[in-house]
Amino acid sequence: MEWLVILGLGAWVWLQSRRIRTLTLELTELRRAVARPPAPAAMGEDEPLLLTEVVRDDELLLDAPLPAAANDATAALEPFAWPAPPSVSEAAATLALALTLLAPALADLSGWAPGLVTALVGAAAAAGFAVAGWRRWPWLAVTTLTGLYVWFAFALGGGDVLRAITLLALAGIGGAAMALRPPHNGDATAFGWGQVHAALPAIAIVAGSVLSIWTWFDTSPTGVGLVQAPTVLATGLCILAALAVRAGAAAPLTFAVSVSTLIIGFMAHLNVREGALSPAFYPLILTAAFVLAAAAYLARPTRETDALVAGAGAAGASLLALLAAFSRLDWHGFTAFAPLFGVAALMCALAWLSARHAADAQGDAVVDIWMSAGAALALLSIESAFAESARVLAHAGLSLVLTAAYARLGWRALRFAALIAAAFALGHAMSPTLFRLAGDGLITLLAALAILAGAGALLFGASRLAARRGEH
């Protein structure tokens, strides 16, 4: 079972995070001890012993008692000890939850309505998360999350994908909600609510995102596949990951994993469908692309790690826009190049918004990421929207626009994007496409020469703007 491997990896990541955190604390204490100045000598002490003085052998006595040896190794290894058993109250609550979750499985499920089973498991899990957060009981929180994953596996194996999606969403929301309850002082070094508060939100979001991939492989009797519910689940987990990153409850890598699983899910849907593409696929994937970009911008982690979140959001939204374009029958149709233009405009807007908050917008990595993604989508949208004879002018015009923006804003990504657009224009100009079209009678030779002259004028204007920027 894949979920057993995922739970094992989650436990390993959690144990490694505990070890890294303990080593960090010990290293901090060591640095403080090294930086601490030595204590001054007390007044009235005996004069120091000089090498010129002779001391009799009977005066060299170690009559001062030695301090007791400190068991430093035991103190250092204490955080890695096996977790202490729960209290009697917590053990009773955990046992009651486990029996409640097992009741439908131990009974005859044929006599249970599908909605009743989902409602019972969901209510028990919600109560488990609520009580665990209220009393700060780590074992109850972990048991609740594990029980939901077990029921997810049962539902998916039984073909009830909607129940599996519901339980997976509840697991992600409940696990992330544990970050809302801060631990008590001194509850951060051993297994307790401090560890659950720090690790469970990221584990629940990552595990839920990975497990959500299996919900995309369901196919309806008509062959179009199930797309609405998996899209809502995967996109919701991405939003939840962005909120957790913004609140500092999860690492930025959590958002990157959620975005990756959403893209894999859409690709899996395109591969497993047997009939026509669902009519809901196109609007859903476009909505997911815009939501990803907005969530990545709103996450706003620390300046040291915001490039990872911005990169995941920009790459995810761009790939979803490309999947939407390639899912159309006509690559040069409006429904193919419209999402590329739309997401490209969104990327440029997010680059401008990010530049307003950056200390140095001209060299900021986040601004470069958003602007690079927007320029790349703009180049692809020109290839989709314009005919072969007009692409030379279109790329040259894009190069002029990007150069003008670079002359005005000075962003690093604009300079390279303008050069790449100019290279695209030169590549189309040097290809035999225009003269082949003129030879076939599709355009006149005068029109081909006019296109080349216009592209040359646009590129010359771009070069003058770039030179003016260099002078300043």
pLDDT value, residue 446? 85
pLDDT value, residue 109? 64
Report pTM: 0.78
pLDDT value, residue 440? 75
CA–CA gap between residue 399 and residue 412 (Å, rounded): 15
pLDDT value, residue 437? 79
Helix/strand/coil (H/E/C) assignment for every residue in the chain: CHHHHHHHHHHHHHHHHHHHHHHHHHHHHHHHHHHCCCCCCCCCCCCCCCCCCCCCHHHCCCCCCCCCCCCHHHHHHHHHCCCCCCCHHHHHHHHHHHHHHHHHHHCCHHHCCHHHHHHHHHHHHHHHHHHHHHHCCHHHHHHHHHHHHHHHHHHHHCCCHHHHHHHHHHHHHHHHHHHHCCCCCCCCCCCCHHHHHHHHHHHHHHHHHHHHHHHHHCCCCCCCCCCHHHHHHHHHHHHHHHHHHHHCCCCHHHHHHHHHHHHHHHHHHHHHCCCCCCCCHHHHHHHHHHHHHHHHHHHCCCCCCHHHHHHHHHHHHHHHHHHHHHCCCCCCCHHHHHHHHHHHHHHHHHHHHHHHHCCCHHHCHHHHHHHHHHHHHHHHHHHHHCCHHHHHHHHHHHHHHHHHHHHHHCCHHHHHHHHHHHHHHHHHHHCCHHHHHHHCCCCCHHHHHHHHHHHHHHHHHHHHHHHHHHHC
pLDDT value, residue 10? 53
pLDDT value, residue 221? 47
Per-10-residue mean pLDDT, the chain, length 472: 47 50 60 60 49 51 50 41 69 88 73 82 93 91 93 88 93 94 67 84 95 80 68 95 92 94 92 77 94 92 77 96 92 92 96 89 91 96 91 94 92 93 91 77 80 91 84 58
